[in-house]
Chains A and B, each alone.
Chain A
Amino acid sequence: MSLVITPWFGAVKIGDYIKRRGYEGAKKALSIKPEDVIEEVKKSNLRGRGGAGFPTGLKWSFVPRETDKPKYLCVNADEGEPGTFKDRYIIENAPHLIIEGAVIASWAVGIHRAYVYIRGEYLKFALILEKAIEEAYQRGFLGKNIFGKDFSLDIYIHRGAGAYVCGEETALIESLEGKRGNPRVRPPFPATNGLYDCPTVVNNVETIACLPYILREGGENFASLGVEKNGGTKLFAVSGHVKDPGVYELPMGSSLRELIYNYAGGVRGNRRLKAVIPGGSSSSILMADEIDVSLDYDSMIKAGTMLGSGAVIVLDETACMAEVLRVITRFYAHESCGQCTPCRQGTSWMAKIAERIAIGKGKKGDIDLLLDIAHSIMGKTICPLGDAAAMPVIAICDKFRSELEEQIRERRCPIERE
């Protein structure tokens, strides 16, 4: 089985990376026309790994080719979605995959300046990446006349400062400009009016890290690793009640059950599986008997949830759903930027209700109230954070209603723990 990213883990120094055929993909890209690079990426069926799964080649093709303005690449390393830590693994273990990928994307779109927006808490990992960038400059893989071509690219790291919403692409752009991370109203889209009102591509770290493979081995090869319309492999960050939490790379279309039991070692202490949050804390929860799903963007939507960032949080029978609800709602209330009334008020209202249920002060009717509020946020906000806050609440209230109602009635958590 061919893998796209993890085989390069451990090749942190540029020499080791080159020994593993590093920078061959970038060299190949620069030897063909930018349009042909975009074609190759379209053929690969690569979809954005940041959560939304938008086809990468198509996204790039929305950027105007001829323009008087400079164009920018923003590599999204904000990684704030609870449960997600796969981009950190790439930065830590194979930083040159990101740099090589950035060279490929920039050549394809006609970009000469890229920023890596990395969350402030990742200082340690930002330093690893910075070191790798320096190495790439020394070898002539960044800067002027890359591979002897009339092509230049500069990459800079931009550290965030603690705000989940800055992972949203337009908030990220605002934050890069030295402002609060308030998402922008779309349209216009970043492809035409992004950073400094210039055409901008925003791509996730993992998306960018797939590009060297695609250019080296070909788009069709990458596509064939996955399933229809979902090319390649995906990194999954598995955490929670499993024996072996960590990052695993599986072909798109693998089964969620296989990931949990064959890769992450199954449920710890041989306890019973209760539920799985399959794509970061904003994805809808799956019950134990719903995990025979295929891990690709389309199948997950069909299953009523989403692949999201690939953060799989496993809950065993000891998990208290009122507690889960409380933590999730508090998070979104804390992170709402406050621009839209339904999100600002709805998230803090939901957090208040979930809090009182969790501490044994819930009221009859609270579950319906939560559902009402969640539905009144859905689709009525500037950015998808509102939906991200509402979706998990709806799923948990629907699927675990009886447990939550018991908690409200009994004024305590109904879960028996040793």
Chain B
Amino acid sequence: MSAASDRRPTLAVWKFASCDGCQLSLLDCEEELLAVAGAVHIAQFTEMSRAAVEGPYDLSLVEGSITTYEDAARIQEVRRASHRLVTIGACATAGGIQGLRNFASAGEYIATVYARPDYISTLATSTPIAAHVPVDFELHGCPIDRHQLLEVILAQLAGRSPRIPSHSVCQECKARDTVCLLVSRRAPCLGPVTRAGCGALCPAVDRGCFGCFGPAETANTASLAGRLLEDGARRVDVSRLFRTFNAGAPAFREESLANEPRPTR
């Protein structure tokens, strides 16, 4: 089918600073993938294809954060070429684990890894896509959940809003009858303040949630932090707990900073 006669909506997948895990979730929609490829025209997916078509694209999925001058310019072009733009994953929605540099000085980070810092040009920060261009929908997770991804793609193409829950992991535990780790073991768990979507994977293996889906919409992080401290957690560990893949999401960032050990004078 030639591009001109092809009336299928076009889908593009873009990568910025990331681990590829979120777009791999699209590849992991194994059976669905061949079906999706039939229903939409995957016009730009460098992970998967050598072929590429010029825009405009009906739907762009964007993975990764902005960490270089070139990428800050490139996301503007991607936005211009995209009818709808959806960000996928903690990197794209919150700056990702590489966003930890926002708490340090970039010079310090470069010097740790590279003997010749002058060869490396990078921004001092890792920022989410929405800090640069308007975003039509943000899908959270490190990585995103592939069923949620399919729902978002289908919804975007149908012009309806995606059915993505906004409650917390805590409710997912209740729904699957997982014993509460905070109550039964006093284990540090971010479930009460973390966005649902994974199906409470960690508590199901006796592990406290570490917040890879980012803050839920009404996250009372201060109250949870107080609870963890009462249960014997050290302040520095509470700070660390909020400072991982979604450290750039405002609710987690503030709680992490609030519990940061102050330098002693």
Interaction A to B: no
**Residues of A that sit less than 8 Å from B by CB:** none
